[in-house]
Structure 1
Amino acid sequence: MFCDPAFTPVVEAFRQGMGRGGAALAVTAGGRTVVDVWGGTADEGGTRPWGRDTVVNVFSASKGVVATVALLCARRGLLDLDAPVARYWPEFTARATVAQVLSHRAGLPAIRSPLPPGSLYDFDAMASALAAEEPWWTPGERHGYHAVTFGWLAGELLRRVTGEEVRDLVAGVSGELGVPDLWIGLPRREAHRAAFVLPPESPAVPGSPSSRGGFPAAGSPLAEAMADPASVTARAFLNPADQLVPGVVNTGRWRAAQIPAANGHASARALAALYGGLLSGDLLDPETLARATTAHSDGFDEVLRGRTRFGLGYMLPNEVRPFAPRAEAFGHSGAGGSLAFADPVAGVGFAYTPNRTITVPAGPDPRWPPLLEALYGCL
């Protein structure tokens, strides 16, 4: 473990918020690692200590990783962000651009027809279904969180322009950073390092991969949308139904699959290095990063039924998920409490990766504010 003495309050906040299970926390500042700590336990029974090499499913924090790969392809001239998706993916029928896919404006957050069992694990089947799907709104006119479809849409685009699977592209970025433990689909040889994801401790929106059987507050707009099985919200979270199987995220099938929006496995160290690398210019040029972190979607979210903000693949702090104190921050949260982001004003990269699931339909995870208050107090 490592902590710059100036950031000792951050580590103290981390330890005080540990509770059941385990977690890791990493922070970069000014291009160097100032915090790299972990603690608690990584197994279901609470007997295996969380170690330096423990990784955990970070759920939608995966989206920020996939977005970075897409932006790298744009920087290298392989992908034109303003081009129609069909230029690279001829079977794709929606009139959406690459930027609209990345900013949740493509109108494809869900598939209407019920998908057969096993679809969640079949990347090709999901990509084909989305290519044929009629958008829920005219692409570009509105936005709505593409909770799971984002990964198949972006992943297939990346495969078309590079000839490589998204899991291999992410592994390449991990190697470029010189930091291991950044995966889309955990290789079976690494499965023994994965922390067990503990079940949720509070009611949750049904259908998020870590929440099973909970519901948002009765009478809320999200609850009303979820109650209508034909709504875009319900379809986004409930189709395919494989993701509703209790404990699915701890199965070998889930861990090994290629579900780019939801089954990234990582260490906090790797995620903090990714966002630190973005700030330092090691991965993207300033112009590409500035465009990617500008709000392309800002306002009412057709899926989450609240106000959200997104750049090109990165979530920006918003009313539904206020994950950082500054509007300039960019990154992504994940179901159950994982969080990774960069703050270009403060010059910090931050990553928190727990296995104790706390599901909050709106607002910050209760473990985040003490960590962030301590961090910004040290800057």
Structure 2
Amino acid sequence: MHARFAPVRDCFHDLLATGRETGAGLTVRYDGAPVVDLVAGPGWRPDTLVGVYSVGKPVVALCLLMLVDRGRVDLDAPVATYWPGFRAPVTVRQVLSHTAGLPAFPVPRPAEAVADWSLLCADLAAAEPEWEPGSVAGEHAWTYGHLVGELVRRVDGRPVGRFLAEEIAGPWRLDLGYGLSAADQRRCADLSYGEPDWSQRMLGEPGSLRARAIGNPAGGLDLAVLNSPLWRGTEVPAVNLHATASGLARLYAGLLARGTLDGVRLFSPELVAEATRVQYDGPDLVLDRQAGWTLGMQREPDGSWGMGGIGGSSAWADPERGYTFAYATSRLAGHDRVDELVEVLHSCL
């Protein structure tokens, strides 16, 4: 580890020493090279995988964007062009930028339904938008991965988890994936609540748009489901990417280098520029705050782009300062841990 970044390491270890963290990985790459690469917690190793919730949204988006880059998908074409029978008059771009008006699965489903890809996609294909597509954003919390992933499957033929493994994770040597094998499931850290009422607080007011968006199918905030083979072995691409921090930091390093990592080009510079450009900036009806959405990520006022996940994991690139950052935690709590680490990192830079 570079001595210049020792304060980041100290801050990370303080989080564990004070009990605010119980298991996590932290990787920072600066000027393309790893300068911080840490894991800590009982049973944690460099190859420990952890569920990172919405940190996976840009990853599934990149699968579809790769097909855009290859000329197989048009961002401004209606979804129904590729998905016959899809009812809502929305474009691929609107789906990618969370403005399609389909933030919640329309039919209440039990936890077991996460294993039924066809059922959930049929629910979405028949759904009516909750607002005029393109007019406003609302994070497509659970639905995003099925909307994007089914487009990948319809155009390419492969399920999105396999597409990710073969087209992105494999070539760029990223330790992350959807629908884990039994062997990879054995590498997973169990998630735990930072506070006993965490899941209730995250769900929000019963019946609210937020509660409908993240509470259906049931079980997505329930440890018994999250730590189960059902959840880890199936594909819920909006929220169940399992990853290492180093894998996520490598992914963003490739994007920050305009689509090339270790000499392997996966995306054109033009695609990366379009994917990281703000497509919508305004109120987000699910997050209940202002948000700048790119094609799959949030762009912050300082020019950084990436995604945080409910529970505290986060990954992004900061083009201005020249780094990529990834934090993957098994303790479901707030983003204050990441905020403190970043403050220290910026002081080092």
Q: Same fold (TM over 0.5)?
A: yes
Cα contact 2:104–2:212 (8 A) shared by 1: yes
Q: Distance in 1 between matches of 2:24 and 2:313?
A: 9
Tell me what 2:325 maps to: 350
Q: Distance in 1 between matches of 2:127 and 2:302?
A: 34
Counterpart in 2 of 1:233? 210
Q: 1:296 aligns with which of 279, 289, 295?
A: 279
The 1-side partners of 2:56 and 2:103 are apart by 16
- CA distances 1:316-351 after superposition (whole Å, capped 9, x unpaired): 23xxxxxxxx53111111121100001111121110
Query: Which string of whole-angstrom CA distances, capped at 9 and with x for unpartnered residues, describes residues 129-155 of structure 1?
Result: 101101101111111110000000000
- The unaligned stretches of length 5 or more in structure 2 are 261-265
Residue 146 of structure 2: aligned partner: 152
1:215/1:370 CA distance change after superposition, 3 Å: closer
Of the three residues 65, 71, 77, the one matched with 2:71 is 77
Q: How many residues align?
A: 339
Which stretch of the first structure deviates more once superposed, 78-87 or 255-264? 78-87
Of the candidates 58, 62, 65, which is equivalent to residue 68 of structure 1?
62
Counterpart position of 2:263: none
Residues 1:117 and 1:274: Cα distance change in structure 2 (over 3 Å): closer
1:203, CA displacement in angstroms? 4.5
- Mark the CA change 1:275 to 1:151 in structure 2 (over 3 Å): closer, same or farther: same
Aligned with 2:340 (options 364, 370, 376): 370
Aligned partner of 2:201 in structure 1 is: 215
Amino acid across the alignment from 2:348:
C
Percent of pairs with identical residues: 43
Q: Does 1:271 align with 2:271?
A: no
| TM-score (norm. length: structure 1) | 0.85
Which of 262, 267, 278 lines up with 2:239 in the alignment?
262
Match of 1:44 in 2: none
Shift of 1:96: 0.6
CA contact 1:24–1:38 (8 Å) conserved in 2:
yes
How far apart are 1:101 and its partner, in Å?
0.1
The CA distance in 2 between the partners of 1:233 and 1:56, in whole Å, is: 24
Render the CA deviation track for 1:46-84: whole Å, top value 9, x for unaligned: xxx311111111111011111222222211112111111
Q: Deviating runs (4+, > 3 A) in structure 1?
A: none
Q: Which runs of 5+ in 1 are unaligned?
A: 42-48, 205-210, 217-221, 318-325
Aligned residues of 1:136 and 1:232 also touching (Cα < 8 A): no
Q: What are the equivalent positions in structure 2 for 1:30-49 lying under 5 Å apart?
A: 30-41=31-42, 49=43
Deviation at 1:287, TM superposition (A): 2.1
The one-letter code sitting in structure 2 at the alignment partner of 1:374 is V
RMSD of equivalent CA atoms: 1.7
- The TM-score with structure 2 as length reference comes to 0.92
Residues 154-201 of structure 1: per-residue CA shift (max 9 Å, x gap): 00001111111111122121111123x211122212111100101232
- Corresponding residue of 1:309: 292
8 A Cα contact 2:111 2:225, kept in partner: no
Task: Give 2:169's aligned residue.
Answer: 174
Superposed CA deviations along residues 72-106 of structure 1, whole A, max 9, x for unmatched, are 22111121111111111112111111110010011
Taking a change above 3 Å as real, the CA distance of residues 203 and 242 of structure 1, as seen in their structure-2 partners, is: closer
**SS of the residue aligned with 1:11?**
helix
